[in-house]
Amino acid sequence: MSASNRKSVLKRILKQLKKYKISVFLTILFALVTVAGTLAVPVFFGQIVDLIVDGGNIDFSSIFRLFIIIAVIIGITCLSQWLMSEINNRITYNVVKDIREESFRNIQRLPLKFIDSHPYGDIVGRAIADVDQFADGLLMGFTQLFTGVLTILGTLVIMLVINWVIALVVVVITPLSLFVARFIASRTYNMFRKTSEVRGEQTAFIDEMIGNLKVVQAFSHEDENLEKFDEINGRLTKVSLKSIFFSSLVNPTTRFINAIVYAMVALAGALMLVFETPLPFAFSVGVLTSLLAYANQYTKPFNEISGVVTELQNAIACAGRIYEIIDEPTEVPDGNDAITLQNVEGNVNFNDVSFSYSSDKKLIENLNIDVNAGQRIAIVGPTGCGKTTLINLLMRFYEPASGVISVDGNDINKVTRKSLRSNYGMVLQDTWLKTGTVRENILMGRPDASDDEMIAAAKAAHSHNFIMQLSDGYDTVIAEDGGNLSQGQKQLLCITRIMLSLPPMLILDEATSSIDTRTEKRIQDAFAKLMSGRTSFIVAHRLSTIQEADLILVMKDGKIIESGTHAELLDRDGFYRKLYNSQFAV
């Protein structure tokens, strides 16, 4: 990330803080009180030292009074520091909450093209791990960076008032500390960004392997996966060590320079006292004690700031990756003039539709389909011919490169996505169930349905019996993606959702691929009743399941090469007949 991009990220972070300007104001107020209290204490300690060094009759009452003042100041300072930290925590985690909500909201609206082209684990890593890293840097920035800068400026002003000669010594040496910190910090940023990227790659790999562990174990691929993980883990270790090595140089180098500052102040003050240098201001052992305390206070924030700068480099790198997700263009929003589909009959038309996933590889070209309301349209063809792509276009998960898809004469690009998709019922080969009860998963199809309607849908989908055999029936909690159910049971629950919602149009993409033959026959009978009067698109590899379709579209290389009924296509002795015979050959 370039310097200009870093500045833009910082501006975005400051913009996020505007929402909490009252809390930020209170933070600044308590920071001022904390710094003022910290700076006031050395003056009183210097006065105590002078009262003791003078000898003779020590004024214990004055010393006691000064200790009381110091105790009150320290108490106020501690209280102020606690309140500042509490407010800083609230600001930080509220900003983190906002960023997570913003990123998740944007992820929900991202086109599937983006999701399909990026590892899921990397996206998850940005929303979780990178946000946590950002929170750590932001919290340190609030609690240490601001108070550190105030302490440095305040200490310098007081030292100039007390003894400008010694203050001048401090000012001359200070730029060396700043130069070292800047030199190292500028080289750690890219390393931290690389660390975040490799961490995201590792998260993506782990997510992929855990999600497909059955396949991994079935093919005994554990050793190969371990080697791949070790390779990614090794790279993460290298970049992490490099970034930590350079960032860890900041603190000791600045401490060394700060020790030089402290020694120079002590030396200059001691020489003034020993040789009784004539000065236009009062100078004593107590004053020197105060100056040494201020020199230590002056240099200490540089150590803290150097660590904060390192953390901020990491935080900015992580924030940049988060903002990339937030700024990723979402689906083109529905226009103000977009219409809402109502009373849909189910006439669907493709007019010269073309689409490809990449510009250098064409898929669907000049596709024309006319589907009348209530027709059952089967789509068959070899793998990769564009069957599922056709479904994605119907649902507007992808936008066609050219041409028009219409429902009841309405261009779907001029229809609200919600109304379009709510008029389709979809069951895919890849099922999805959320973590929750069976009831919650079924009611996703129609949240206002009654229990009787839900049970009737389950019976129609032949899922009621296995649901009742679960530990808590419809209230049984199922794991993520239905992990504690068989693939067939998960598919039955997805079919139940459609049976409950009863949309005017159906999309069945290998909807019974994981169901046993006996249950599949029952489901097909239920589907036949469900599809009656509804426009239905059926994607199937088992041609025996689509023989009753009103129209069969045979696709190859993104084009419809044959169309007709099952009997008509068999009579033509074309590609469809070869597909059919290949499945029933003895």
Report if residue 361 sits inside a domain. yes
Give strand ranges (E) for 93-171. Answer: none
Report if residue 46 sits inside a domain. no
Average pLDDT, the chain: 80
Helices (H), 410-450: 417-422, 438-443
pLDDT at 106: 85
User: CB neighbours of 85 closer than 8 A, spacing ≥ 6?
Assistant: 143
Angle between helices 131-140 and 285-327 (to 10 degrees): 160
Residues 309 and 448 in one domain: no
pLDDT at 406: 92
Direct distance between the N- and C-terminal alpha carbons of the chain, in angstroms, rounded to an integer? 63
Q: How many domains does the chain have?
A: 2
Q: Kind and range of the H or E element at 363?
A: none
Residues 215 and 121 in one domain: yes
Report if residue 439 sits inside a domain. yes
User: Distance between CA 367 and CA 37 in Å, rounded?
Assistant: 77
Residues 317 and 461 in one domain: no
Residues 288 and 169 in one domain: yes
pLDDT at 359: 72
Which stretches of the chain drop beneath a pLDDT of 70?
A: 1-6, 54-56, 139-143, 177-178, 181-182, 184-187, 189, 211, 214, 219, 250-251, 275-283, 302-307, 309-310, 480-483, 511-515, 519, 522, 544, 583-586
Report if residue 333 sits inside a domain. no
Token couple for 359 = 């510009």
Report if residue 541 sits inside a domain. yes
> Over the stretch 218-257, which tens digit does the pLDDT of each residue have?
767 788 888 888 898 888 888 888 877 777 776 677 777 7
Report if residue 72 sits inside a domain. no
User: Which residue range(s) make up the domain with 245?
Assistant: 96-327
Return the number of other C-beta atoms located less than 10 Å from residue 15's C-beta.
9
Phi/psi for 172 (5° steps) reads -65, -40
Domain harbouring 281, CATH code: 1.20.1560.10
Helices (H), 403-501: 417-422, 438-443, 451-460, 464-468, 487-501
Which amino acid, one-letter code, is at 21? K
pLDDT at 3: 59
User: Distance between CA 434 and CA 439 in Å, rounded?
Assistant: 11
User: Distance between CA 358 and CA 225 in Å, rounded?
Assistant: 29
Name the domain boundary from 298, 327, 356.
327
Residues 277 and 378 in one domain: no
Q: What is the DSSP letter of 140?
A: H
CB 341 within 8 A of CB 410: yes
* DSSP 3-state of 162: helix
Residues 400 and 459 in one domain: yes
pLDDT at 79: 94
Residues 314 and 358 in one domain: no
Residues 446 and 518 in one domain: yes
Which amino acid, one-letter code, is at 375? Q
**Among 501, 486, 517, 364, residue whose Cα is nearest residue 426:** 501
Half-sphere exposure of 175 (CA within 13 A, CB side): 4
Residues 407 and 504 in one domain: yes
In angstroms, what CA-CA distances link 487 with 148, 210, 441, 481, 515?
59, 17, 15, 10, 8
pLDDT at 75: 93
pLDDT at 279: 56
CB 387 within 8 A of CB 580: no
Residues 283 and 389 in one domain: no
Angle at 268 between CA 262 and CA 270, to 5 degrees: 100
User: Distance between CA 552 and CA 378 in Å, rounded?
Assistant: 5
Report if residue 558 sits inside a domain. yes
Residues 435 and 400 in one domain: yes
Report if residue 152 sits inside a domain. yes
